[in-house]
Copies of this chain bind each other. A is one copy, B any other.
Amino acid sequence: MSFPSLTYDPATDRPQEECGVFGVRRVADASVLAAFGLHALQHRGQEACGITSYDREKGRFTTERHLGLVGEHFTEPKRLERLTGDMAIGHVRYSTSGGSSMRNVQPLYADVRGGGIALAHNGNLTNARMLREELVAGGAIFQSTSDSEVILQLAARSKQPDSIERLISAFTQIEGAFALVAMTNDLLIGARDPLGIRPLVMGVLDGATIFASETCALDMIGARYIRDIEPGEVVIVSDEGLETRRYAPARPAKTCAFEYIYFARPDSVIDGISVYEARKRMGIRLAQECPADIDVVVPVPDSGMAAALGFSEELGKPFDLGIIRAHFAGRTFIQPTQAKRDLGVRRKHSANASVLRGKRVLLVDDSIVRGTTSKKIVRMVREAGATEVHFRSACPPITHPDFYGIDMPMREELMAASHEPDKMIEMLECDSLGFLSVEGLYWAVHGEARNPESPQLADHYFTGDYPTRLVDQNRAASSKDEQLSLLVDA
């Protein structure tokens, strides 16, 4: 959703999901429901949030976009009272440590002939830079550096007579990953990229149609799940009901594997598969593939919980909470100058010595990216009295970066991309290390083998097998390095 990623968060050593979207049409309190829905999707982006509503009596779009959490901004009655109307779309955006800018906060908006288009987008386009250059050459003025604006500019330029056709025209030109909701001064639409890399579901509440990145947003507001939007599909909601359009051929979704591994909320169901169950099965399979002679299975909370439960169950060894996670937000603390230990990790995790002392501990986490946090956790667990510390990753070794909206470090920083197994054990200072196999991942998610012709998941992180062309990536280096905008906003 934003160009070259500067936003991988080294404090957690986790790739960062980039955005969640929500839309609802023809219901009282549309913006209040959007606020609840976005709150349920907050894990998909904590940097910024926004809601745009449309009031058909006034013929007005109203927007509120803010840096920070949904619960900080959309709990204020006066904000929601501004957002009148029975149609609304919303967006949450990922968290960055560095400087982010208001101009990239969504929903985006354009006045076009005969109306307006508001748009919220999750995902990353692989030809956005090329399209942007063409649009600028044609006189377009970009306000943001987000590739989502490319979609809006294409729609504005389209010669199609109505807003929906303008958007569909844009969909046929963009490549990459996108789940998006858009709203005109009449209609609500939901659309998913041709491969279905990013998730998008449809539900219903009191007759009103809802689109959301995950089912947990439907559950939050008591809506009923209808189905996932299909790859290459656009669903148009009007007073006449639902109309479905295809701008790309029908095919099964090739959902991003990391949605199952880490991003999605465990209580969500993506393309018919429970995220929680998939994670638990990852742990079960991991126990089969990499068992160990240990006393206790300890999850790295919260992301390793489900896999650790599966692991413990399969191995027949007790599951216990040897690491406590702090639940209070906060920026990075200043380090004391003379402290002998790095206190950073303890800000989020602390060792529960009563569980660890004198034990052979097996830690289960969902993944290992750079390994920096894993190393600190291993050390903390050992200092708390564990006699052995074994580490297990509930996903395969990550060796390749992503270009579809997941923020990862450069390839050379990915631990598994540049180190042999023995070296990794040494780096993490653990007694043994194990990763789920790629086949194990498919077994856990789909219960079937990987189809090498057309893998059922976007699994390039582990295989280098990218599901689409990488247009911008493959262009001349000079073009790639160019800044998207010469302007640095406040």
Chain A residues within 8 Å of B, Cβ to Cβ:
27-29, 32-33, 35-36, 39-40, 42-43, 46, 52, 59-65, 69-72, 74-75, 77, 80, 82, 109-113, 115-116, 136-137, 139-143, 152-153, 156-158, 185, 205-206, 216, 219-222, 265-267, 269, 274, 276-277, 302, 305-306, 309, 313, 318-321, 324, 326-341, 343, 346-347, 350-355, 483-490
A111 touches B338 (CB 8 A): no
Nearest Cβ in chain B — how far from A432, in angstroms? 25
Known: A28-B338, A276-B355. 16 other contacts (CB 8 A): A32-B337, A36-B343, A46-B328, A59-B483, A70-B330, A71-B330, A111-B484, A112-B136, A139-B156, A141-B141, A205-B339, A220-B346, A222-B340, A265-B324, A267-B350, A276-B352
- In angstroms, Cα B484 to Cα A321, docked, is 45
Given A63-B487, A222-B343, is A28 in contact with B321 using a C-beta cutoff of 8 Å? no
Protomer copies: 4
A350 touches B220 (CB 8 A): yes
Who on chain B is nearest to A46 by CB? B328
Given A69-B330, A140-B156, A153-B141, is A220 in contact with B343 using a C-beta cutoff of 8 Å? yes
Who on chain B is nearest to A330 by CB? B71
B140 touches A141 (CB 8 A): yes
Given A29-B338, A111-B487, is A40 in contact with B221 using a C-beta cutoff of 8 Å? no
Contacts of A306 in B (CB 8 A): 321
A326 touches B63 (CB 8 A): no
A111 touches B139 (CB 8 A): no
Nearest Cβ in chain B — how far from A484, in angstroms? 8
Given A69-B330, A337-B28, A485-B111, is A346 in contact with B219 using a C-beta cutoff of 8 Å? yes
Partner of A219, one of B60, B61, B111, B350: B350
Nearest Cβ in chain B — how far from A120, in angstroms? 14
Please list 18 pairs of residues, one from A and one from B, whose beta carbons are closer than 8 Å in the complex, sorted by A's number. Answer: A29-B336, A29-B338, A33-B336, A33-B339, A36-B336, A36-B343, A40-B350, A63-B488, A72-B329, A75-B331, A111-B141, A111-B484, A143-B143, A220-B343, A221-B336, A267-B352, A269-B354, A329-B329
Partner of A347, one of B39, B65, B222: B39
Who on chain B is nearest to A331 by CB? B75
B115 touches A486 (CB 8 A): yes
Q: Which 8 A-B pairs have the closest CB atoms?
A: A71-B330, A139-B157, A274-B354, A29-B336, A75-B331, A116-B486, A267-B352, A110-B141
